[in-house]
Chain A
Amino acid sequence: MRLAYYPGCSLDATSIEYGMSTQRMAKILGIDLWEIPDWNCCGASSAHQTNHLLAISLPARNLAIAEKEGLDTLAPCAACYNRMRATEYEVRTSAKTRSQVEEALGMSYQATQNSVSVLELLADRYGLDNLASKVTNPLKGMTPACYYGCLLVRPVAITGFDDPEDPQSMDSIMKALGASPVDWAFKTECCGAGLGVTQTDICLEMTYRILKNAKEMGADSIVTACPVCHLNLDMRQKAIEKKYQTEFNLPVYYVTELVAIACGAEPPTVGTNRHFVEANTIFRQLPAKAKAMEEAAQASKAGKGTAKAKAEKAPAKSEESEAAAESSSLGLANKVYEDKDKAAQLAEILEQEPARAAKLEEILEQDKGKALKVADALLAKKAKEKSAGEEGNKA
């Protein structure tokens, strides 16, 4: 397979490891990359916020060179990819746009070729089975959150190779490498990197939400295919931890780094030592983690029967009875709320007030709707007390 290769400015500088690992991956998989000679910047969002024709003419110069060679273009940077797809789309759908672009370039450009992202290349063109067959060091035990961001999957008319709300290509690539990607809610939520320089606080809040959800859903790392997302999630992670008084410690990988590593490359040689969040030790911990995951899976398979038997037995030790009490209030709370957060909060209240717990159980048996209202009231009361307490402290 031969493709034109458009690294773009980021892969040459701020995300040099994305460039290194893309080339390494291509070599391992036997994909021939022809770097577009003398390529220029795609103009990124600065161009399309400023001038429409400029925004499609800058990418078009590169695409015209690739077109002359009769090649599709691999654009690993999600921002460049998005601008290139937009250019192809606009030139194809409007003859007027096409002639304007050609006039601005002083070159012929007909958009006969297609730009592809790394995800599309691996999942569709190269193929997951092919990819899996190249894996020598499976990433078993790794639980990454696959983060697509906005530019790879939107607008659908322009990108169109994966679902804009719940894309799967990166998840399936990670599975082919042996990892177990987590389900989470922020796959395609924007990280706000575009606001990073100009309106930093807004950007930090957006990125914080993404890191937080990944952590809560059990991710041990984040995978991305976008240099701006990477810079944001990786370089700004320390600042975010400091600002929000929390600790994430989530290494952030480029999908190409993980492909190369799973296919036998040593992590530092594909650039993981250039990350800001330490990104090498996780690979040494994977075997132990994989074993623990396997044991847990077996235990939960066999576990359902045992748990029941345990519950029927009268608790002999006080420790056990405490644990039982705790699990019973959580069990009760889970019956009331489907939302895990809310259930945990309710369980905490019931723990301290056994009389209310008994009452709630009684109500639940008769009327679930009513029980829900009672529980809501309990949570609201608790929240009010808490905020009153905080007010008091402030005063």
Chain B
Amino acid sequence: MGKVVLSAHRESREFVKAIESACGTKTSLCYQCGKCSAGCPVGFAMDYTPRQIIRLLQLGLIEEALQAKSIWICATCDTCTTRCPRGVDIASIMDALRREALNRGKVVKEVSAFNQAFLNSVKRYGRNHEVSLVLEYNTRIMNPFKNAEQGPMMMSKGKLKILPEFIKGRDEVSRIFEKVKAMGGDHE
């Protein structure tokens, strides 16, 4: 491993500051006790634990944090934030890192494909329509049969609508999407 420069780049300091102000929290408060990671229900599947993600940010290792699989495995359950003895809002930091990774095109294909498919359904119909969602998701990840076994299962219990329901105010809803985008939003 070559030389690692810690927190020396103004760029990375500014990045961490921006993340912190978006979340109303401070990574410097963290004293690395690890309580967040001990309680994390998905910790077993992560490459960096929540504690390590915070450490990366403290050290200004932005690229590593944005490329971590962990930020896409985090289930946003908020256990870490609730338990942190220093009041660090770890879950919100994970959320902010996901959005930043999305901005920079560093994404876990499945997760962002799901989110885009979900939001497109909402934008089009005003509500989420599961069948359209799964069809678009499967197209995006190029796996036509993903979750296919669940369709008939749910159908048999009267839990799926074949056709989407359009709400009357769907124009209002798609206007919200446009407006947010115009106001500097980052949705596709």
Contacts and interface: CB of A to CB of B under 8 A. Distances in A.
Nearest to A234: B157
Interface stretch (A169-177, A186-194, A252-260, A332-340): A186-194
B170 to A, nearest CB: 8
B176 A50 contact: no
Nearest to A150: B77
B185 A13 contact: no
B176 A274 contact: no
B20 interface: no
26 contacts: A9-B127, A40-B170, A40-B172, A41-B122, A41-B128, A47-B119, A49-B76, A49-B95, A50-B102, A50-B116, A51-B185, A54-B119, A54-B176, A57-B179, A155-B81, A155-B82, A156-B82, A188-B79, A190-B41, A194-B75, A197-B147, A198-B113, A199-B72, A235-B153, A275-B157, A276-B153
A271 to B, nearest CB: 9
A197 B137 contact: yes
Interface in A30-85: 38-41, 43-54, 57-58, 61
B105 interface: no
A192 B41 contact: yes
Given A52-B99, A202-B45, A192 B75 contact: yes
A192 B77 CA distance: 8
Contacts of A51: 99, 180, 185-187
A205 B183 CA distance: 40
Nearest to B154: A14
Contacts of A322: none
Interface of B: 22, 41-42, 44-45, 72-73, 75-79, 81-82, 91, 95, 98-99, 102, 108, 110-111, 113-116, 118-119, 121-122, 126-130, 134, 137, 146-147, 150, 153-154, 157-161, 165, 167-170, 172-173, 175-177, 179-180, 183, 185-187
Contacts, number: 170
A150 B22 CA distance: 22
Nearest to A159: B78
B131 to A, nearest CB: 9
Contact of A58 (B102, B122, B157): B122
Given A197-B147, A206-B41, A105 B176 contact: yes
Interface string A3-35: 000000100111110000000000000000000
Contacts of B116: 46, 50
A54 B169 CA distance: 16
Interface residues of A, number: 54
Closest 9 CB pairs of A and B: A190-B77, A150-B77, A154-B78, A46-B118, A46-B115, A198-B110, A9-B128, A41-B122, A274-B157
Nearest to B46: A202
Contact of A13 (B42, B44, B161, B175): B161
Contacts of B119: 43, 46-47, 50, 54
Given A12-B127, A50-B99, A50-B119, A57 B180 contact: yes
B75 A190 contact: yes
Contact of B73 (A105, A165, A199): A199
Contacts of A190: 41-42, 75, 77, 79
Contact of B159 (A16, A41, A54, A202): A16
A190 B82 CA distance: 13
A164 interface: yes
A100 interface: yes
A150 B126 contact: no
Contacts of A49: 76, 95, 98-99, 102, 111, 115
Contacts of A155: 78, 81-82, 91
A305 interface: no
A30 to B, nearest CB: 28
A49 B114 CA distance: 11
A189 B41 contact: yes
Contact of A16 (B77, B147, B158, B169): B158
